[in-house]
Amino acid sequence: MAAEGLAGLLPSQTQLEYALLDADSPQEKENLVYQYLKKMDSRERDLTAPELGGDLQWLNTEGPISLHKDLCGKVVVLDFFTYCCINCLHLLPDLHELEHQYSDKDGLVIIGVHSAKFPNEKVLDNIKSAVLRYDIGHPVVNDADATLWHELEVSCWPTLVILGPRGNMLFSLVGEGHKEKLFLFTSITLKFYKERGQIKDNSIGIKLYKDSLPPSPLLFPGKVTVDKSGERLVIADTGHHRILVTLKNGQILHTIGGPNSGRKDGRFSEAAFNSPQGVAIKNNVIYVADTENHLIRKIDLELEIVTTVAGIGIQGVDKEGGAKGEEQPISSPWDVVFGSSVSGTQEDDVLWIAMAGIHQVWALMLEGGKLPKGSDLKKGVCLRFAGSGNEENRNNAYPHKAGFAQPSGLSLAPEEPWNCLFVADSESSTVRMISLKDGAVKHLVGGERDPLNLFAFGDVDGAGINAKLQHPLGVTWDKKRKLLYVADSYNHKIKVIDPKMKNCATLAGTGEATNVLGSSFTQSTFNEPGGLCIEENGRLMYVADTNNHQIKVLDLETKVLSMLPILNPESRDVTDHPSVQKDQIANLPKLPKSAPNIQLPSLSAAPGQTIQFLLKLTLPPDSKLNEEAPNAWFITAEDNNTWLLQGQHLSGEIKDVSCQTVIPFQLPRVCLSAEAVLAIKACLYYCSKDSSACMMKGISFNQPLQIGSTNQGSLTQVELTHSFITN
């Protein structure tokens, strides 16, 4: 049994580690590991890992996996992680590379053991989103109550445990940065047990969630920003590894990079990013925090060229900086924002960077200048501004002695009396301020006074330290109202802070991780919103609602919340080829003949206007949606009205009937008729709860349109409701 936990490995592995330090050649290191394994394998009693637990929830598998049955004959790497942790994310590329080198046929299986830090991370759906977001391709078990964590006496994230083919514990690696040892230990363990005939080549039942993802215009968008005119948005479409530039109605102007990850400068069509996050725009230049490439990229919209301005493409460990940007290694930049140096003659001559990977805030000098408490710096230099690099919630008058914990969002308040950077410090669950006069780091809301306590989180409105947040990822300053808005990501809320009084209150969201466009801000819901921005005039706020794969729009004057439709470039004008989408139209499902046809009141609309259809369907009592079936909505039009369909998303998935499904539609800018009829249809498969019977039902809504030349407003919402009465 594993009564000793990982502590039982410590004496022998410590001896091995010291011997490896003195080894001169790879062959000598391999021999040392081989001899270590002979010693461990000949122990009188194995240090045996506990069973993984049949009652735990699993992802990326066909069912629960038993360590001592299904994984007998395999070398197993257990990765104890939590998806908020940047150090855990830094380990994923090493694990990806390892599983590409050795498959289950070779005898290696990697199992992610998700042991949550935050309550929000215990929820299976949230872990599922993280598995998709970070492209995790191995089985993951939800150790929600930290059962395995405690049984093995794991003490920190990340921790890797390497097991032999009997479930016998052989090695542990704590923290990140052990790639060489991970590959050395794994390869020699496979060799050692193959020689003894103990490795089996059977396959493990893997079923990847990413293979069932429906197509979506956005995939886990992390950040969004708006230009000074308020007419253009820049969206980090993180899961699609691309940057979108759109008009404020959602029409795409530029698609840069994607859909696959990569690292490449050049023209928009060939450029590649890897999970980009923060974006900042000025005139026709965009800076991007290319997070998993560990780079800062520059997009020139006039030349349509992408270049690299900071980072070398591999994770840096330097916590000082000072080299020219493209020679300076950096680590997981998560957000960027323009600012001005102390002595510079130009506005916006500094790019501030939330360097989440090393818990600091850095600066990239876009022109020569001086930072607070700093000396003159040349153009192009990239260096630390604040944070010691220790993961702490430590405030200090001297910026280098302050401590951050995975800073993930930045916003600038340049005017007096603020003149500061606001920081969403995610792992301490706080919002902090960095003075741009003297660099002093101060607390605003959340957390607690002990700088080493990174577990002071919650969901409490209040003032200063009495307010509680849960892993906030974004902040944006409203200079009109002198208020700060926060994406309180793991509470699924948008909060508002009055920095003068240090008051923090919920502005939008119920705390539920769903996707509801309610009649008010506080009746609407989000799912781990990661970023937000506000127009210069203070009216519209845009929120990257990350796990809902949407940009939400909050009108701060009318208090109306809507979804930004993402419209392909071809929807800007009617083409001469209505046949373009014939294949798409032909592939839409057919409704049953019994499907009701509901006639809606005529709707007045203008060319280019956005219409959101809010679909809410109710199943009969004692029925449940068959989630495996292709439940879908789709839009059609009769032959003489097919011009309406150009450039539209004609169908989408219905995942959950307990909340509204939002169906975006935009009238073409050039309309071929003053009258038209659009049909919005839905097809559902549901079963009685005792599963005695399953059926397919359909519904069609006919929406007549009266199209006039006068603008009816940028957005109209139409509710589509229907109850299926009986089975």
pLDDT at 693: 67
In this model, does residue 69 exceed pLDDT 80?
yes
- Tell me the per-residue pLDDT of 533-562, one tens digit each, with 9 for 90 and over: 999 999 999 999 999 999 999 999 989 898
Taking phi first (over 0 means left), then psi (-120 to 50 degrees means alpha), and beta for anything else, what does residue 360 get? beta
Share of the chain above pLDDT 70, in %: 94
Residue 62's pLDDT band (boundaries 50, 70, 90)?
A: confident
Residue 606's pLDDT band (boundaries 50, 70, 90)?
A: confident
In this model, does residue 672 exceed pLDDT 60?
yes
Residue 25 Cα distances to 12, 20, 29, 186, 191, angstroms: 21, 10, 6, 18, 19
In this model, does residue 531 exceed pLDDT 60?
yes
Residue 609's pLDDT band (boundaries 50, 70, 90)?
A: confident
Least confident of 66-70, 207-211, 371-375, 409-413: 207-211
Closest C-alpha to 85, from 446, 357, 475, 318: 357
Q: Which stretch of DSSP H or E encloses residue 86? A: helix 86-101
pLDDT at 2: 42
How many Å is the maximal CA-CA distance in the chain? 87
Distance from C-alpha of 182 to C-alpha of 94, rounded to nearest angstrom:
8
- Tokens, residue 130: 């993280």
3-state helix, strand, coil in the chain (%, to 5): 20, 35, 45
- Tell me the per-residue pLDDT of 334-390, one tens digit each, with 9 for 90 and over: 999 999 998 767 889 999 999 999 999 999 999 999 999 888 999 999 999 999 999
**What are the beta bridge partners of residue 475?**
486
- Tokens, residue 10: 């410590």
Least confident of 20-34, 66-80, 557-571: 557-571
Question: Taking a C-beta distance cutoff of 8 angstroms, is the pair 281, 225 a contact?
Answer: yes
Closest C-alpha to 223, from 281, 267, 262: 281
Q: Which residues contact 611 (CB under 8 A, 6 or more apart)?
A: 603, 605, 664, 665, 666, 667, 715, 716, 717, 718
Residue 569's pLDDT band (boundaries 50, 70, 90)?
A: low
In this model, does residue 169 exceed pLDDT 80?
yes
**What is the DSSP secondary structure assignment for residue 144, as one 8-state letter?**
T
In this model, does residue 315 exceed pLDDT 50?
yes
- Tokens, residue 178: 């052990």
Question: Residues 476-484: what's their mean pLDDT?
Answer: 97
Residue 574's pLDDT band (boundaries 50, 70, 90)?
A: very low
- Around 294, how many Cα atoms within 13 Å sit in the side-chain half-sphere? 19
Distance from C-alpha of 448 to C-alpha of 429, rounded to nearest angstrom:
9
Say which residue the tokens 């930072």 belong to: 371
- Tokens, residue 521: 């801000």
pLDDT at 675: 85
Distance from C-alpha of 676 to C-alpha of 362, rounded to nearest angstrom:
55
What does the radius of gyration of the chain's CA atoms come to, in whole angstroms?
27
Question: Residues 575-591: what's their mean pLDDT?
Answer: 50
pTM: 0.77
The more confident residue out of 517 and 54 is: 517
Say which residue the tokens 């992680």 belong to: 81
Closest C-alpha to 113, from 163, 167, 59: 59
| Rounded (10°) angle between helices 86-101 and 179-195 | 40
Share of the chain above pLDDT 90, in %: 72
In this model, does residue 260 exceed pLDDT 70?
yes
The more confident residue out of 588 and 39 is: 39
pLDDT at 373: 83
Residue 695's pLDDT band (boundaries 50, 70, 90)?
A: confident
Distance from C-alpha of 632 to C-alpha of 444, rounded to nearest angstrom:
45
3-state secondary structure 503-532: EEEEEECCCCECCCCCCCHHHCCECCCCEE
In this model, does residue 576 exceed pLDDT 70?
no
pLDDT at 572: 39
Question: Residues 474-489: what's their mean pLDDT?
Answer: 98
Distance from C-alpha of 505 to C-alpha of 444, rounded to nearest angstrom:
13
Helices (H), 470-600: 582-586
Please state, as a whole number, how many other Cβ atoms lie within 10 Å of the Cβ of residue 577: 10
Cβ contacts of 193-198, under 8 Å, gap ≥ 24: 193/75, 193/107, 193/164, 193/165, 194/107, 198/73, 198/164, 198/165, 198/166
Closest C-alpha to 651, from 676, 624, 632, 666: 632
